[in-house]
């Protein structure tokens, strides 16, 4: 469901090490681990590639992401449900990450399905099918993660 991880050592060897002095890679990683439970592979790639080649851009990207993703007028659950729906409308695989984040923030399965239903109204069966697949896989992952 998620893309393969990059080979960090090869990136470092060819492009250099993460060089953003404003924030350690461990601290950047922790933000995503708290939101979705892990560092998504594409974000890991951006951290290591952009963090080595243009650390100022990485810092700016993360500042803008934080500002946009956590508006004061929405709680995290609401923002993540909206992002899940927006990305599902595009059939983006990033919808999975925001679905996971919505669940971690307290969204119920009924709320998740309601977002899929809204997407169906304007995107059709493609969104309904993809949404159901995402929810089913998330359900299985949550079941497997139970102690």
Rounded to an integer, what distance in angstroms lies between the CA atom of residue 62 and that of residue 29?
Answer: 11
Q: What is this structure's pTM? A: 0.89
pLDDT tens, position by position, 13-22: 999 999 999 9
Question: Cα separation of 26 and 39, whole Å?
Answer: 10
DSSP string for residues in 98-132: HHHHHHHTT--HHHHHHHHHHHHHHH-HHHHHHHH
Binned at pLDDT 50, 70 and 90, residue 1 comes out as low
The Cα–Cα gap between 47 and 29 comes to: 9
- In contact, 104 and 36? CB cutoff 8 Å: yes
For the chain, domain boundaries: 8-69, 76-145
- Per-residue pLDDT reduced to its tens digit, 22-79: 999 999 999 999 999 999 999 999 999 999 999 999 999 999 999 999 999 999 999 9
Q: Residue 69: is it exposed, middle or buried by C-beta count within 10 angstroms (0-12/13-18/19+)?
A: middle
Query: Of 2-11, 82-91, 98-107, which gets the smallest average pLDDT?
Result: 2-11
Question: What does the buried/exposed string (b/e) look like for 91-105 if buried means 16 or more CB atoms within 10 Å of the residue's CB?
Answer: eeebbbbbbbbbbbb
**Residues 97-131: tens digit of each pLDDT:** 999 999 999 999 999 999 999 999 999 999 999 99
Q: Give helix then strand counts, H and E, for the chain.
A: 8, 0
């Amino acid at each position: 469901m998620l893309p393969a991880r990059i080979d960090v050592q090869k990136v470092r060897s060819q492009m250099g090490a993460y060089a953003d002095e404003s924030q350690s890679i461990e601290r950047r990683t922790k933000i995503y681990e708290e939101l979705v439970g892990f560092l998504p592979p594409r974000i890991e790639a951006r951290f290591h590639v952009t963090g080595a080649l243009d650390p100022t851009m990485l810092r700016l990207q993360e500042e803008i992401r934080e500002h946009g993703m956590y508006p004061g007028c929405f709680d995290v659950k609401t923002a993540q449900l909206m992002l899940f729906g927006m990305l599902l409308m595009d059939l983006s695989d990033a919808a999975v990450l925001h679905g996971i984040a919505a669940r971690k923030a307290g969204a119920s399965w009924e709320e998740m399905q309601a977002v899929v239903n809204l997407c169906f109204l304007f995107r059709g069966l493609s969104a309904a099918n993809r949404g159901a697949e995402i929810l089913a896989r998330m359900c299985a992952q949550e079941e497997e993660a139970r102690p």
